[in-house]
Structure 1
Amino acid sequence: MNGSERVKTIRISNGTPGPEALIEWSVEDVAHISVTLYDGHNVSSSAPDLFESLIDLRRDLAARDLLLCCNGARLDCYPSRMSREMGKAQKVLVLEKGKPPSARSMVDIFGEADGAKIGTPEEQESHYRDWLDSIA
């Protein structure tokens, strides 16, 4: 990785609170995320922004029945178009049905999240579409 690299520990879960994993990310022309699990297994992904890269990682980890407990994996979080275009989706919006988002509803994509709020990428996309319908 390079000079814009960030590193953080993040909880993982298989339905119950689990151990931590090391997550490293960088954003340049593309976003790159690498996760090193407690057993030394490494999963990585590159995509146009951090959210897309995180979706790829979440699908890989789901095959091992593992969830990343971060805001970017919450059912009620999704990046705005501006966040994706200008910030490579380093921030995501916390979405409330029937309410438009505000700047105060932006949180760090890798901020810690309660495992009970985490879902699959498909569930998250469905929740996002439901939210869009609720504000239309």
Structure 2
Amino acid sequence: MEEFYKKDLFIKASIDNKSIKNLNVTLEEQFDHKCKLIVHLEHLVVITKDNFFECLSEFKFCYPNIILFCKGYKINVYPSRMFIQMGMGLKAYEMELGEQATFDNVVSLFDYEEHDLTSSVELQKEYYFKWLNSLCGN
């Protein structure tokens, strides 16, 4: 099947908290609007989901020993429904507790990042809800 959108990236990665190397990562949106994440490890990992955030989340779940040095792995980065529904899940907010997110807080999931990284989607969700509560003064 041909793709509607395609982008090839090289992303720095840590494997088992020691070896650091650049991985070839391909992002594709198919004509059926499914999103495909392809990661070139020793074997090819292909994950197809409704959006790229879901693809990245599945990759984290399947390969918790691999940390990609990108915004999508940062604990305080999480997409809004609008970014998921209208932007293929390629963008997200980088949130700060007690501060409303603005367009200045919008980041690309696959942009380089090396601080506060986690392979746990659950920790990202927890931070997201903690952030929401911090806006209410709770």
Whether the TM-score (by the shorter chain) exceeds 0.5 is: yes
Is the strand fraction higher in 1 or 2? 2
Q: Which residue of 2 aligns with 1:118?
A: 117
Contact residue 44 and residue 57 of structure 1 kept, 8 A: no
Larger Rg: 2
Whole-Å separation in 1 of the counterparts to 2:51 and 2:92: 12
Whole-Å separation in 2 of the counterparts to 1:43 and 1:71: 20
Q: How big is the shift at 1:113?
A: 0.9
Alpha-carbon spacing, 1:70–1:108, altered in 2? closer, same or farther (3 Å):
same
How many residues get paired?
Answer: 131
* Runs of 5+ consecutive residues of structure 1 not aligned to the other structure: none
1:9-31 alpha-carbon deviations (Å, 9 max, x no partner): 00111334611111101124111
Q: Which residue of 1 aligns with 2:20?
A: 18
Q: Which residue of 2 aligns with 1:5?
A: 6
Aligned residue type for 1:46: T
Whole-Å separation in 2 of the counterparts to 1:84 and 1:50: 8
How well do the aligned residues superpose, as a CA RMSD in angstroms? Answer: 1.5
* Runs of 5+ consecutive residues of structure 2 not aligned to the other structure: none
2:18 maps to 1:36: no
Alpha-carbon spacing, 1:112–1:128, altered in 2? closer, same or farther (3 Å):
same
Alpha-carbon spacing, 1:98–1:46, altered in 2? closer, same or farther (3 Å):
same
Q: Secondary structure at the match of 1:4?
A: strand
Q: TM-score, normalised by structure 1?
A: 0.89
Contact residue 13 and residue 23 of structure 2 kept, 8 A: yes
Identity %: 23
Contact residue 45 and residue 56 of structure 1 kept, 8 A: yes
Is the helix fraction higher in 1 or 2? 1
Segments of 4+ in structure 1 off by > 4 A?
Answer: none
Q: Which residue of 2 aligns with 1:67?
A: 67
Alpha-carbon spacing, 1:104–1:24, altered in 2? closer, same or farther (3 Å):
same
Alignment of 1:93-108 (within 5 A): 93-108=93-108
Contact residue 4 and residue 29 of structure 2 kept, 8 A: no
Q: How big is the shift at 1:3?
A: 4.6
Whole-Å separation in 1 of the counterparts to 2:4 and 2:93: 27
Alpha-carbon spacing, 1:129–1:17, altered in 2? closer, same or farther (3 Å):
farther
Q: Secondary structure at the match of 1:43?
A: strand
Q: Secondary structure at the match of 2:122?
A: helix
